[in-house]
Amino acid sequence: MLLVVDVGNTQTHFGTFQDDALVEHWRFASVRTSTADELGAALRNLLELRGVGLADLDGSIVSSTVPSLEPEWVEMGRRYLGHEMLAVGPNIKTGMPIRMDNPRELGADRLVNAVAAYEQLGGPCISVDFGTAVTYDVVSPRGEYLGGVITPGVEVSLDALTERGAKLPKIDLIAPRNPIGKSTVEAIRSGIVFGYAAQADGLVRRLQEELGDECEVIATGGLARLIVPHTETIEHTDNLLTLKGLKLIHERNR
């Protein structure tokens, strides 16, 4: 059984694969001060809820956007799993050439998403991840990572808006009824949901124009389900895209 771990700035998403099938997956808050022992305890407790033990895991891989947590996950693997956990980084084989000015700048999660998107769509593509940041990652027809776009995430923008606007209320993120909000709450929802959908469409079209090839677009991330239905350019959604990419990269490093 393979353990795959995607450590994001807000949440950690991990799952277990048995052969090609995802057995189960979980999410918990990313705490930047977590130790290897705390991660091992959290992992063991969540696995046991599904009848899986640490001894059942004979392989593991982690990608992390939080620098302090990557070594803790690797140490957790040594201490509790009895093997070396792979960490997505400059020295790992991905099968995808990186055509950036400085490949070491590329976030592990962005690379993993690009690998999974290219494998899944089978040609030039754009992966869009609606997480703490919204990232757009472009892959060429030859399977090369070309670069992309990073914008503030949906919740980051919403928090900044309500924090700096003294009279603006905090709201639940749900789809607005209409573009023209008939209340302050509805107006904010419209601005966030339709605004990010329009941003996605505008950026995707610009990226496709620069790429010069027709390409498919796939979205992932916790808020994709809220934004994607209101876009015109995103054809696919896969909330497990990063976990699938981690599995692919693990296979390429056996």
DSSP assignment of the chain equals: -EEEEEE-SSEEEEEEEETTEEEEEEEEE--TT--HHHHHHHHHHHHHTTT--GGG--EEEEEESSTTTHHHHHHHIIIIISSPPEE-STTS--S--B-SSSGGGS-HHHHHHHHHHHHHH-SSEEEEEESSEEEEEEE-TTS-EEEEEEEE-HHHHHHHHHHH-TTPPP------S-SS-SSHHHHHHHHHHHHHHHHHHHHHHHHHHHHTS--EEEEESTTHHHHGGG-SS--EE-TTHHHHHHHHHHHTT-
6 assigned binding-site residue? yes
109 is known as an active-site residue: yes
10 assigned binding-site residue? yes
242 assigned binding-site residue? no
**Dihedral sign computed on CA atoms, order 220, 222, 223, 228:** positive
162 assigned binding-site residue? no
Strand-pair partners of 6: 13, 63
122 assigned binding-site residue? no
8 assigned binding-site residue? yes
129 assigned binding-site residue? yes
58 assigned binding-site residue? no
CA 117 to chain CA centroid, nearest Å: 12
Please pick, among 56, 101, 109, 172, the residue that the annotation labels catalytic: 109
9 assigned binding-site residue? yes
132 assigned binding-site residue? yes
128 assigned binding-site residue? no
**Active site positions, annotated:** 109
Pick out the residues of the known binding site for substrate: 107-110, 184
Pick out the residues of the known binding site: 6-13, 107-110, 129, 132, 184
Pick out the residues of the known binding site for ATP: 6-13, 132
